[in-house]
Structures are given as C-alpha cells and as structure tokens.
Structure 1
Amino acid sequence: MEYTSKTQLYQKVKKPLLERQRRARMNKCLDNLKTLVADLRGDDGILRMDKAEMLESAVIFMRQQKSHKKVVQEERTSLPLDSFKNGYMNAVNEVSRVMASTPGMSVDLGKSVMTHLGRIYKNLQQFHEAQTESQQSAMDCSSMDKAPLSPASSGYHSDCDSPAPSPQPLQEQPLWRPW
C-alpha cells in the first residue's frame, strides 16, 4: 500500500487515528463527569444513563447547584445586617433603660439621645435599602444582556453570541492536540 502524497497518507491513516484518539478523550471525560455527578448527587442512577441523558442530567444538576449557591449567598449577606439591627436595637433599649433608672437624669437629655439613636438607625436602614436596590437593578440589567434562545435554536453554544469560558483540564498532563 503505497501513498503518493502526505495528504493521502493523512486522509487514509492519520485522520482515522486522530479521530479515534479524540473520541477516546471525550469518552474518558464523559466517564469522569458521570462519576463526579454521581458522587455529588449521591445517586448512582446516572451511571446507567447513555451519554446524552447523562450530560442533560449533569447540566440540570449544575444549574440547581448554582441557584442553591445564590440562595445561600443571599442568606449570608442578609444575616449580618439583621444581626447588627437586632444588636443595635438591644443597645438602644439598654441605653433607654439605664437613662430611665438613673436618678437626676434630665428628660431633655434622654429625649435628645434617643432621638439621635433613632435617626442613626433610620439612616442605616435607608442606606441598606438603597444598596439593595442598586444591587437588584445591576442584576436586572445583567440578566437583560442575555438574549433568550429562539424556538429554532438547538441550544448549542454556537447559537449564542458570547464566547463560552474555556474549561480547565482536570489532569496535570497537557492535552493532546492533533496540530
């Protein structure tokens, strides 16, 4: 079997070999993804799925994790402020109790101190509300940037306008490329 040019050699021998290696690499990555999702979900049902079902299940799982992470993050950001508000109100109540129980305390002084503490608390609430509104409007604007897929869209990345982030390889060895 004699080949007359490098192109013929590539088409007859190298190209099928390269394609087999590429498919083997993809299958290895799919198997790794399958076991990772099965471990994280605690469900071995994904191990019996075909490749397309497994990928769909992995995408659904990752979206659920992303939304769960947002909920947890929102809870964490609101918790310190609520805790601070409760502590501030407890301190204001304690100041009020101490001033009321102190003999010879001027009513005007107590009134001005409590008015000042109330004003500070109101300013803190307004600042927090303004900050929350600006964050919400920023999230609304970012969600408007993403155009919905048309009904004719296949859902593949090539249908999108923005480039997808390139995935980082899981193994330490460099990826084999045919070029």
Structure 2
Amino acid sequence: MPADKSYSKTSDYRRATKPLMEKRRRARINQCLNELKTLVLDALHEDPSRHSKLEKADILDMSVRYLQNIQRQQVAAAIATDPAVFNKFKAGFNECAAEVRRYVSQIEIDYNLRQRLLSHLGNTIARLATPTTACTC
C-alpha cells in the first residue's frame, strides 16, 4: 500500500505542475516571438506601431522571408566576388536545366508552355555565360 501512496503523490504532483509548466512554455514562446518581431521590424526599417497586432504566423512568415532574402544576398555576393563559386553555380544550373529539358521532353505538356520554359532556361543560361551578369533566375 505505501507504494500506491507514493505513486499517487507523484501523479498528483505532475497533475498540479503540468499546467504551470505549459503556461511557462507558452510565455517563453510568446516572448521569443515578440523579440523576433522587434528584430525583423527593425531590420526591415518598419514602424513597429503599424505592426502592433501581428499574428504569430505573420511574425514567422516575415522572419522566414527576411532570412531567405539575406541568404540570397550572401549567395549573390559570393557569386559576384568569387569566380569559383560562380562557376560551380553555373555548372549546377546547367545540370539542372538539362534535367528539366529531359523531363519536359518525356511528359505530355502543352507545346507553348514547353517552348516558353525551354526558352527561359536557354536565355538564363546565355545570361550566365557572362560572369558579370547578376542572376535573377
């Protein structure tokens, strides 16, 4: 019987503390989201008073888009400054374009759509032939 009492006390303790732990976890998430909102709005030079009631999903979406933009800028800078990075990028793009061409030629697809896609890939590859051209793929 004493084992049942200790189990009961442990169970009661967990039952009592679980809501408090969950409340603390939610508070920590909300605090981090508010900090993230402030950081992203500052980085985007946005007026925080205009964005006082952003939903959590909006904050996360803005953050993801901001980080993707930074990542694109870093890749573009690396491509522009380092010929080896540019050559690797160009080789990878050419390989990917060739794979798209192979795939598109094997499936049923509208002729005009196929031509537009292949034309776009060809034009982009031609632009990549000159290293000074920034890629807007």
Which category describes the TM-score, using the shorter chain as reference length?
0.5 to 0.7
- CA distance, structure 1, for counterparts of residue 63 and residue 52 of structure 2: 11
The reply to whether residue 72 of structure 1 matches residue 71 of structure 2 is no
RMSD across aligned C-alpha pairs, in angstroms? 2.9
Q: SS at the partner of 2:58? A: helix
Residue of structure 1 equivalent to 2:32 = 29
SS in 2 for 1:48: coil
Identity %: 28
Q: In the aligned structure 1, how far is the partner of 2:17 from the partner of 2:24?
A: 11
Say which structure is richer in helix. Answer: 2
Query: 2:66 maps to which residue?
Result: 61
Aligned pairs for 1:37-48 (under 5 A) are 37-44=40-47, 45-48=50-53
Which gives a bigger RCO, structure 1 or 2 (Cα 8 Å, sep 6+)?
A: 2
Q: How many residues align?
A: 87
Distance in 2, matches of 1:53 and 1:28, equals 15
TM-score by length of 1: 0.41
How much has 1:138 moved relative to structure 2?
A: 6.0
Q: Unpaired runs of 5+ in structure 2?
A: 1-6, 97-137
Whether 1:14 and 2:40 are equivalent positions in the alignment is no
Distance 1:53 1:39 in 2: 15
Superposition deviation, residue 22 in structure 1: 0.6
Cα offsets for 1:51-92 (capped at 9, x unmatched): 1111111111111111111111211224xxxxxxxxxxxxxx
Question: TM-score if structure 2 supplies the norm length?
Answer: 0.53
8 Å contact 1:37–1:58 — kept in the other structure?
yes
Tell me which amino acid in the other structure corresponds to 1:10: R
Query: C-alpha offsets along residues 3-56 of structure 1, whole Å, 9 cap, x if unaligned?
Result: 942112211x10000001111111111111111101111013444311111111
After the TM superposition, which segments of 4 or more aligned residues of structure 1 sit over 2 Å from their partners? 44-48, 134-141
**Distance of 2:89 and 2:40 partners within structure 1:** 32
- Computing the radius of gyration from Cα coordinates, the structure with the larger value is 1
Q: In structure 1, list runs of 5 or more residues that go unmatched.
A: 79-127, 142-179
Partners of 1:32 and 1:47 in 2: how far apart? 13
In structure 2, distance between residues paired with 1:46 and 1:75: 35
Q: Aligned pair in 2 of structure 1 residues 69, 48: CA closer, same or farther (>3 Å)?
A: farther
CA deviation vs aligned residue, 1:129-174 (integer Å, no higher than 9, x gap): xx92x56446869xxxxxxxxxxxxxxxxxxxxxxxxxxxxxxxxx
